[in-house]
Amino acid sequence: MHRPFLIIAFLSILMQITHAQSKQDNMEQSEAYALVIHGGAGTILKKNMTPELEAAYLAKLTEALEAGYKILQSGGSSMDAVENTIRVMEDSELFNAGKGAVFTNEGKNEMDASIMDGKTLNAGAVGAVTIIKNPISAARKVLEESPHVMLIGAGADDFAKKMQLETVDPKYFFNERRWQQLQKIRNTEKQQLDHSDDKGLNLEKLENNKFGTVGAAALDQHGNLAAGTSTGGMTNKRYGRVGDSPIIGAGTYADNQTCAISCTGHGEFFIRGVVAYDIAALMDYRSMSITQAANEVIHGKLKKMGGQGGAIGVDKSGNIMMDFNTPGMYRGFVRSDGKIEVFIYQQ
Ligand code: ASP
């Protein structure tokens, strides 16, 4: 007589437990958001840094993380977090992106940027732009408002105007510190050429090893990953040189199945090593963790090729990676708990 009643009661309790469990899963998932950034890797040594400059870098990295964290915390998208975090760094003279972009050999500023949405695998990029205040926003417009992935030069500048993005006089990008860096490199170049037997142009020799690109990778409360990178490229670049930063798979990559990555370093090597995608691919095909995959690429393959630099990233579970084979990398992260951590040198 009581048997059917017992079965119904048992099933109802079971359903309640399952419901509570799934609610808890959702809660756990909604807790897992994270943001990680870099402000460039290179020969960044404490002995060359003043306490004021060091404090300024750490404060700006913190401000950038706060901007992105606010978006993630309120349920915003990883794409919004990445774009807005990068905009903060582009507006600062400290980094080699936007306002602080380095000079080309001709004394101009030509900027590159890209962004990728890990949910749709859609991407947008701009190369060699000269009047766009925030190249990362132009990259996002390419993704959202054009059928293309990458626009370059005058066409990209025109597109940004059409999209009503803020444009500025190229003078806006003038920065005394960057200008002096160019003069120094030009002088070294002149001396090298004067002392070279064949008077040939040895680009390897002329490269400088100070980078400073900015990038961000984020996981939002909805489980979506995104990554973006923005740069002025390399000081003294010429002939319309474009580095890895706007190249999807080299400087930037995001896929909800694996991770979101942004790179910084000597772009030519990152292009040839397809670094950002390689990290994601090792996770996908070889089931590596984000830390293992980055280690393999940055300290293995890239280093063997002679490539200097680093990468930051976050995986689909919110695990954070910040790895580099140079003496330093401006970097930091924040997770759901809101605790911001920023670093410059090797730990
Ligand atoms: N990767 C950038 C480029 O080669 C430079 C950098 O990261 O600082 O253009």
20 part of a folded domain:
no
- Mean pLDDT of the 215-232 span: 98
* Res 96 pLDDT > 80: yes
Using alpha carbons only, give the angle 107, 112, 116 rounded to the nearest 5 degrees: 170
What pLDDT does residue 85 have? 98
How many structural domains comprise the chain? 1
* Res 67 pLDDT > 50: yes
Contact by Cβ (8 Å): 262, 64:
no
| Nearest atom in ligand 1 to 267's CA | 4
pLDDT (tens digit per residue) in 78-91: 999 999 999 999 99
- Mean pLDDT of the 128-145 span: 98
pLDDT band, residue 12 (cuts 50/70/90): low
- Nearest CA to 258 out of 124, 118, 123 is that of 118
Q: Which of 104, 230, 231, 326 to mutate to test the pocket of ligand 1 (most atoms within 8 A of CB)?
A: 231
Q: How far, in Å, is the centroid of ligand 1 from the Cα of 243?
A: 6
pLDDT (tens digit per residue) in 274-327: 999 999 999 999 999 999 999 999 999 999 999 999 999 999 999 999 999 999
294 part of a folded domain:
yes
pLDDT (tens digit per residue) in 182-197: 898 888 877 776 665 5
Rounded Cα distance, 232 and 323, in Å: 22
Pocket of ligand 1 (CB under 6 A): 40, 96, 211-213, 231, 233-234, 243-245, 264-267
Indicate which residues carry an active-site annotation: 213
What pLDDT does residue 25 have? 38
Least confident of 4-18, 105-119, 129-143, 181-195: 4-18
242 part of a folded domain:
yes
Q: How far, in Å, is the centroid of ligand 1 from the Cα of 180?
A: 19
What pLDDT does residue 318 have? 97
Strand order in the sheet with 320-324: 252-254, 259-265, 309-315, 320-324
| Nearest atom in ligand 1 to 241's CA | 9
Rounded Cα distance, 177 and 179, in Å: 5
* Res 28 pLDDT > 70: no
Rounded Cα distance, 163 and 133, in Å: 13
189 part of a folded domain:
no
Q: How far, in Å, is the centroid of ligand 1 from the Cα of 54?
A: 21
313 part of a folded domain:
yes
pTM of the model: 0.88
Which residue's alpha carbon is nearest to atom 4 within ligand 1? 267
- Nearest CA to 93 out of 175, 179, 183 is that of 175
What pLDDT does residue 21 have? 40
Q: What is the DSSP secondary structure assignment for residue 297, as one 8-state letter?
A: I
Tokens of 157: 């500048």
Q: How far, in Å, is the centroid of ligand 1 from the Cα of 77?
A: 26
* Res 154 pLDDT > 60: yes
Residue percentage of the chain with pLDDT more than 90: 79
* Res 168 pLDDT > 70: yes
Residue 292's domain comprises 31-176+202-345
Q: What is the DSSP secondary structure assignment for residue 173, as one 8-state letter?
A: G
206 part of a folded domain:
yes
What pLDDT does residue 328 have? 95
What pLDDT does residue 10 have? 55
| Nearest atom in ligand 1 to 42's CA | 8
Q: How far, in Å, is the centroid of ligand 1 from the Cα of 330?
A: 13
| Nearest atom in ligand 1 to 266's CA | 4
2 part of a folded domain:
no
Tokens of 235: 């000081």
- Mean pLDDT of the 45-52 span: 92
> CATH no. for residue 319?
3.60.20.30
186 part of a folded domain:
no
